[in-house]
Amino acid sequence: MVFGRPDRGIRPQTEPLTLKLLVAGGFGVGKTTLVGSVSEIRPLRTEELLTEAGRPVDDISGVEAKRTTTVAMDFGRITLREDLVLYLFGTPGQDRFWFLWDELAQGALGAVVLADTRRLADCFAAVDYFERRGIAFTLAVNCFDGAPRHSAEAVRDALDLDPDVPVVMCDARERDSVKRVLVSVVEHALATGITARRPATV
């Protein structure tokens, strides 16, 4: 209403819905790259150089060219629609930083578990973490150049995932590819939540 008269050309501004998603997975799987490729703001990164002191505890087989590692979290933001904003929190991959996961997981709608077929076993811990806490997740296979290609069903069987867990192929460097992963997470998390709230039928 302007000067006491209704103005049909002006719609009230509403705050967009904001959702929190985690991006998890093994060491060197591409979590920082994924967050950075899709974030509409300059992503927050907490990377440090890998050192000789860390070699006994950081398994870099398969990712020998990696020079830095996330020690706290990555953070980015993407607006999927005018009324929907996602905040992305990338978790550290090394075992010794997993104590941070519980803090990061608070209030999360769902998660992306990023996988590398060259080191598929590295994502078991993340899958187990979200399954135990009842947090919906999508398994996203990051298709590295030269990495073995497997079907979604083959990956599902190898990781013993429940049939309702989405498994998608992606390129963590490509914005559109990552957006499809995030849409999958949101849709799966919302569907899981709706199913959980339905009364049991006799």
> Is there a contact between 24 and 112 (Cβ–Cβ < 8 Å)?
yes
pLDDT higher than 50, residue 71: no
Q: CA distances (Å), 202 to each of 191, 192, 194, 195, 199, in order?
A: 21, 20, 18, 16, 10
| Average pLDDT, integer, range 23-30 | 91
> Is there a contact between 26 and 119 (Cβ–Cβ < 8 Å)?
yes
| Average pLDDT, integer, range 23-52 | 80
Residue 169, CA atoms < 13 Å, CB-side half-sphere: 13
Backbone torsions φ then ψ of 21, nearest 5 degrees: -125, 145
pTM of the prediction? 0.77
Q: What fold, for 17-197?
A: Rossmann fold (3.40.50)
Round to whole Å and give the CA distance between 16 and 21.
Answer: 16
Encode pLDDT of 40-58 as tens digits.
Answer: 998 876 544 444 444 445 4
Range of lowest pLDDT (2-11, 19-28, 67-76, 169-178): 2-11
pLDDT higher than 70, residue 190: yes
Residue 1, CA atoms < 13 Å, CB-side half-sphere: 3
- Sorting pLDDT into bands at 50, 70 and 90, what band is 87? very high
Closest by Cα among 137, 171, 173 to 156: 137
Q: Of residues 98 and 26, which shows the higher confidence score?
A: 26
pLDDT higher than 50, residue 144: yes
User: What is the DSSP secondary structure assignment for residue 2, as one 8-state letter?
Assistant: B
User: What is the DSSP secondary structure assignment for residue 96, as one 8-state letter?
Assistant: G
| H-helix or E-strand spanning residue 177 | helix 175-197
Which pLDDT value is given to residue 27? Answer: 85
- Sorting pLDDT into bands at 50, 70 and 90, what band is 98? low
Q: Which pair of structure tokens corresponds to residue 195?
A: 């199913």
Q: How many CB atoms lie within 10 A of CB 169?
A: 16
3-state secondary structure 38-62: HCCCCCECCEEECCHHHCCCCCCCC
Average of per-residue pLDDT values in the chain: 82
